[in-house]
Amino acid sequence: MTASARTPARPATAASAAVLNDGLAVSIRDLKKAYVLAGGTVHALRGVSFDVPTGDFVSIMGPSGSGKSTLLNLLGCLDRPTGGEFYLGPDNVAQMSDDELADVRASRLGFVFQSFNLLPALTVLENIELPLHYSGRLGRDSRQRCEELADKVGLGDRLDHRPMQLSGGQQQRVAIARSLVNDPWFLLADEPTGNLDTATTREILDLLTGLNEEGRTIILVTHEPEVADLTKRTVVLRDGLVVYDGHPDGSRAALDASRRKDGPNGAR
């Protein structure tokens, strides 16, 4: 693989990502992140490495102070590492400029947030269309695609509703449809069920599982073992390092061990 900070991020489908990078949606190697503060240097990530094959469904877990939030920001191209490599498709994202990172966020990633992040003044359809509007790609065909995505998540009969007219689960369905509108290489879901009741949590997880069964790559950050159990694989962080990477069944022992240890100052 040849990394180039000068190669602009380009829209592509999840399928093409597999061809470009040997079937890996994401590959990170020895990823580090340090913050220089008045009191000294804080090492939030100390050398994290793992791959996410195209079509995988990975949960990321860890106690407070494990580095989970820092990793989330790096995977979402909201920050740059201070060391290591982060490949998305063929490109080393760690070396990209601010403009290239913005391109990546707009064309290659789909985001699902705990708090939904819908615009209250917009309808369901308009919220789904929003990423296309920002990228200047909203047209007749793309509008039809947005309507199809709304139907896919069970909201085809609520296109003109606004967020305040929807339940929490319905709002999260809008957010999931919005995350798919650019045909991203992977979905990054940050505690997507954190604000939902048990029954609605199961509905959203069933929806995500269905998307994964269709071939979508999903990275899901959660603190709930019951949610992680429904993914294919769990990565557990502690003190800025990966301490477990395997089937969710084996992650509980790693989590229990993590909670019995105090992390060093500053792992986030």
DSSP string, 30-45: EEEEEEEETTEEEEEE
**In the block, residue with structure tokens 């693989």:** 1
pLDDT at 15 over 70: no
Q: Has residue 10 been placed in a domain?
A: no
Q: Has residue 86 been placed in a domain?
A: no
Domain coverage including residue 110: 54-81+96-261
- Domain total of the chain: 1
- Provide mean pLDDT across the span 64-79: 91
pLDDT at 74: 94
- Provide mean pLDDT across the span 201-213: 95
* Comparison of pLDDT for 107 and 52, the residue scoring more: 52
pLDDT at 267: 52
Q: Has residue 23 been placed in a domain?
A: no
Q: Has residue 42 been placed in a domain?
A: no
Q: Per residue in 155-181, is it b (16+ CB within 10 Å) or e — as a string?
A: beebeeebbeebebbbbbbbbbbbbbb
pLDDT at 3: 38
Q: Has residue 118 been placed in a domain?
A: yes
**In the block, residue with structure tokens 């369901």:** 124
Q: Has residue 33 been placed in a domain?
A: no
CATH of the domain at 210: 3.40.50.300
- Provide mean pLDDT across the span 166-178: 96
Length of the chain: 268
CA distance 156 to 149: 8
pLDDT at 11: 40
Q: Has residue 32 been placed in a domain?
A: no
pLDDT at 18: 40
